[in-house]
Structure 1
Amino acid sequence: MNRLTVRAAIHVAAIFAIYLSVAMLIPAAVDLFYDNDDWQAFAFSAVLMGGLALAVALATQGRPPPVSTRFGFLLVNMLWMTLAVAGAVPFMISSLDLSLTDAVFESVSGITTTGSTVISGLDQAPPGILMWRSLLSFMGGLGVIALGLFLLPFLNIGGVSYFKIESSDIEDRPFERFQIFTLSLIGIYSTLVFTCALCYAMAGMNGFDAVNHAMSTVATGGFSTHDSSFGYYADNMAILWTGIVFMLIGGLPFSIMILFVLRGHVDALRDPQIRVYGGYCLVFSLVIAIYLTVANGTPFLQAVTHSAFNLISIITTSGFASDDYSLWGPFAVVCFFVATFLGGCSGSTTGGIKAYRFLILFELLANGLRRLIYPNTVTPVRYGDRTIGDDMQRAVILFIAAFLVLWAITAMLLGATGLDFITALSGALTSLTNVGPGLGPIIGPAGNFSSLPNAAKWICTAAMLLGRLEILAVLVIFTPAFWVR
């Protein structure tokens, strides 16, 4: 590995840490407004992290290295690690006085838009802390989109390389300048958050809750200002349906949204992955709603509202909960477990395996079965009207294989810390898919991760980062070949 490459990656990470330290002034202002002494913790964190980041940025500035896949992989990992560590500082020195383990866990959960939490008593927590958690989700969601659209597509790993074929925005260059594309993305993302907050407020949320939940909803981050999450608003159907709509939007590919909003490309909405994503959201929601109505006697409108909210929350890896769905019955619990794998679309804020990977996987399966009958036939693997290349096919298989292996390893490691089977299995899965809540009484929708052993929290923290960076982007830097010149 060229020293210039490492130096440049550190420099870029330090620049982003400066931006993060400036963002710490927002919760400081919120605490000042509410007359909470925690504003000093955020102000000190901003000065401390900003000063350190500025010093590192000045010490590492210089001529940037040529763009390469190695630089891209190193930069992706360094960015997320730096932001996660910097984001943990306010948690440690605030009135919550979180330990290093808990602070890093909460920060990583926010920046990866996972939504798992170790904080109890959110209803009485300082407003600045609540705002900081939401801001981490907001920035993490924007970073996830940028990761999927700009950085990882050119590293040919996982679903991110799919962006090259999902629309004409790469091939035909409808945006002549990268800056226009970036500003368009930020504009649409921010507009969605503002609109979501406005809808929440109109539906009955107070202004503070509306802003916090909007940032977390569009980012599919799952952080709430209440211990009971959206169970606090369980009787307000308008709030729950607002959440459903904006979680669904957060799971859509932002590249296609940009093409549709700014270029009027209606045909972009015909993307096959959108149909698959919408299809399994609809089917799962209706099936569980019918089950609740028939098995539990729940009124259908109430059943479909809570079923859609909770299932779409899991599918989009948002992690909100309007009810303890682990009490809905075995069939419902199994459905929620399966939904944890799914995820939204490529280029969205969601985690999970994602819809397009399932499309390609089933196309590969269908082709394989056809070749068993007609061994000499040559049938290309297609995505809609496009042919999927060998690199993309290999990336999908590699991701799914790595995902399953890491899930098994993570679950065994969690079991070694003393966790029961359900907690270990679902904790490993929810961390890798960035969903948030797991299953069982400990980390289920009615619990949190605070009672887990420190070792288990570090394991989940590592899994959240692995899942957020599409697994392969992290694993590659641990190969000896990556560091050999």
Structure 2
Amino acid sequence: MAGAMLLPALIDHVDGNDDWVVFVGVSAIVSSICALVAVGTRGGRFSASPRLGFLLVTSVWLTAAFICSLPFHLSEVPISFEKAFYESVSGITTTGGTALVGLDDMPRGLLFWRSLLQWMGGVGLVAMMILILPQLKSGGVFLFKLENSDRSEKLLPRFSQLATALVWVYCGLTFACATAYYMAGMTLFDAVNHAMTTVTTAGFSTHDASLGHYDQPSVLLVALVFMILGALPAVLYIRFFLPRSLQRWRDPQVFAFLATCLVLGLMLSAVRHFIEGVPVPTALLTGFFNLVSLITTTGYSTQDYMLWPTAALGILLPALFIGGCAGSTSGGIKMQRIIVLFTLVRANFRRLLRPHSIQPLKYGPSDISQLAIETLIIFIVLYFALTIAGTILLTLFGIDFISAFSAALSAIGNVGPGFGPLVGPAGNFAALPNGSLWILSFLMLVGRLEIVTVLILLTPGFWRD
């Protein structure tokens, strides 16, 4: 993070903005502290354990959120620390909700820092989900069973090689997306910024109107394609280039995700065409774009869908829950968990009809273990329990119920925009009280780190002995 701060510092220096001093200063302080810690612990030994893993993951993300908030708060733009921390958390968790206004006139260094946070957060998130959380028996990829449900068949020989491959995947997608945006009519600066926040399904924009600033269908088509690509499991791209791996390229959640986008997108477009009378091309483009933006938890917007018919809102609502695929930067419950939950319900119904039958539980070719089922149920229960608790706490700040519920739901699902007059696509989290931003920041971190990873730190048993 300290090294990354030098990039927006360079942009501000070229633009003649004094904020470059802030980025360089924070970078120097952070890198000095890191160097002291590295020297002080050199040669030290520790025993790795799941308990240490949970503590490490949560503390690293909390520390990163605090460090990354400092340039916002210390810049010449008047940003309170609550909003700076919220913006930082929203960035590194790839949520995309913003508490800042006046983006069109904001220094380019801060705009680039926001986008860079989401790109680094997205790549770091996928690496964490694939390399760390499965070992802790936590996270969506634990159910996904990356190496075919055991450790005998490695996708790549070493974790370091897999992490490097993931970085190259996102670098390639970002370059392709930036090129496509530039060819579609964006400036080079906007193309790079939006590419970083599109492939990581994050949603920060350099304009208050988001992609609605560009009244060009070509820009929306580029965003639509790369939002879908960003919501697919990152390992699929690695497997595509590996020899004899094409037969393992198929994944049930990929086809379920694409089918869900197709069905809901067609339904939303039909509502817009037949009820509102919107022309078919416009209905298809706006319907699919806004649906995919929500279901991939990217959060881009082109217009206020709160003004659409009630039937359209009913179709968009499930998108706040579903999310993309496990092993991607998307938030939400994730399609893989939904498939496993559907499999569990179907097996239970069949067992009721045929009590003596054996109903195997499978995800594709892999068996679903009892531990995976327990992990799924716990996640779903905690997901909605935290949403309800967050809604209650937000209403205590005087926020209307619809805005409070959708804000809590979009925060824990890392979606970004929600429903209601305050946090809808035409609203902004800047209007919320500062105290509510702390609640939303907590929900974003908890949702991004797969809930159990954070909540287990709050149990007395974790700190015992």
Asked whether the two chains share a fold, i.e. TM above 0.5, the reply is yes
Name the structure 2 match of 1:175. 156
Aligned with 2:141 (options 152, 156, 160): 160
8 Å CA contact 2:149, 2:366 repeated in 1? no
Name the structure 1 match of 2:257. 277
Name the structure 2 match of 1:33. 14
8 Å CA contact 2:267, 2:315 repeated in 1? no
What secondary structure does 1:270 align onto?
coil
**Offset of 1:441 from its aligned partner?**
1.7
Name the structure 1 match of 2:420. 440
Is 1:83 matched up with 2:64? yes
**Offset of 1:176 from its aligned partner?**
1.7
How many residue pairs match? The answer is 465
- Measured in 1, the distance between the counterparts of 2:336 and 2:45 equals 35
Instruction: Tell me the TM-score normalised to structure 1 length.
Output: 0.93
Letter in 1 for 2:52: F
Aligned with 2:187 (options 206, 209, 213): 206
8 Å CA contact 1:166, 1:271 repeated in 2? no
Name the structure 1 match of 2:380. 400
What residue ranges of structure 1 are gaps of 5+ in the alignment? 1-19
Residues 46-87 of structure 1 deviation map (CA, whole Å, 9 limit, x = unaligned): 112222333333334443423221111111101100100000
Equivalent residues in 2 for 1:54-203, closer than 5 Å: 54-165=35-146, 167=148, 170-203=151-184
Name the structure 2 match of 1:14. none
8 Å CA contact 2:131, 2:159 repeated in 1? no
Instruction: Tell me the TM-score normalised to structure 2 length.
Output: 0.97
What secondary structure does 2:359 align onto?
coil
Name the structure 1 match of 2:247. 267
**Offset of 1:442 from its aligned partner?**
1.0
With 217-226 and 65-74 compared, the bigger mean Cα shift is at 65-74
Aligned with 2:286 (options 299, 306, 315): 306
**Offset of 1:310 from its aligned partner?**
1.1
With 263-272 and 357-366 compared, the bigger mean Cα shift is at 263-272
Aligned with 1:52 (options 29, 33, 44): 33
Residues 103-144 of structure 1 deviation map (CA, whole Å, 9 limit, x = unaligned): 100000000000010110000000000000000000000011
Q: Label 1:452 to 1:298 Cα distance change in 2 as closer, same or farther (>3 A).
A: same
**Offset of 1:284 from its aligned partner?**
1.1
**Offset of 1:406 from its aligned partner?**
0.7
- Measured in 2, the distance between the counterparts of 1:50 and 1:178 equals 26
Letter in 2 for 1:413: L
Name the structure 1 match of 2:323. 343
8 Å CA contact 1:260, 1:268 repeated in 2? no
- Measured in 1, the distance between the counterparts of 2:206 and 2:74 equals 20
Equivalent residues in 2 for 1:234-273, closer than 5 Å: 235-263=215-243, 265-273=245-253
- Measured in 2, the distance between the counterparts of 1:42 and 1:413 equals 35
What secondary structure does 1:419 align onto?
coil
Name the structure 1 match of 2:392. 412
**Offset of 1:170 from its aligned partner?**
4.5
- Root-mean-square deviation (CA, aligned residues, Å) is 1.4
Is 1:372 matched up with 2:341? no
- Measured in 1, the distance between the counterparts of 2:244 and 2:283 equals 37
8 Å CA contact 1:411, 1:428 repeated in 2? yes
Letter in 2 for 1:473: T
- Measured in 2, the distance between the counterparts of 1:169 and 1:349 equals 23
What secondary structure does 1:116 align onto?
coil
Letter in 2 for 1:33: V
Letter in 1 for 2:298: S
**Offset of 1:169 from its aligned partner?**
9.1
Residues 377-419 of structure 1 deviation map (CA, whole Å, 9 limit, x = unaligned): 2212111122101111111111001101111101000011110
**Offset of 1:269 from its aligned partner?**
3.2
Aligned with 1:478 (options 453, 458, 462): 458
Q: Label 1:166 to 1:401 Cα distance change in 2 as closer, same or farther (>3 A).
A: farther
Name the structure 2 match of 1:11. none
- Measured in 2, the distance between the counterparts of 1:304 and 1:355 equals 23
**Offset of 1:165 from its aligned partner?**
4.7
Is 1:357 matched up with 2:337? yes
What residue ranges of structure 2 are gaps of 5+ in the alignment? none
8 Å CA contact 2:198, 2:227 repeated in 1? yes
Q: Which has the higher helix share?
A: 1
Q: Label 1:236 to 1:268 Cα distance change in 2 as closer, same or farther (>3 A).
A: farther
- Measured in 2, the distance between the counterparts of 1:30 and 1:459 equals 33
**Offset of 1:483 from its aligned partner?**
1.2
Residues 431-462 of structure 1 deviation map (CA, whole Å, 9 limit, x = unaligned): 00000011112111111100111111100000
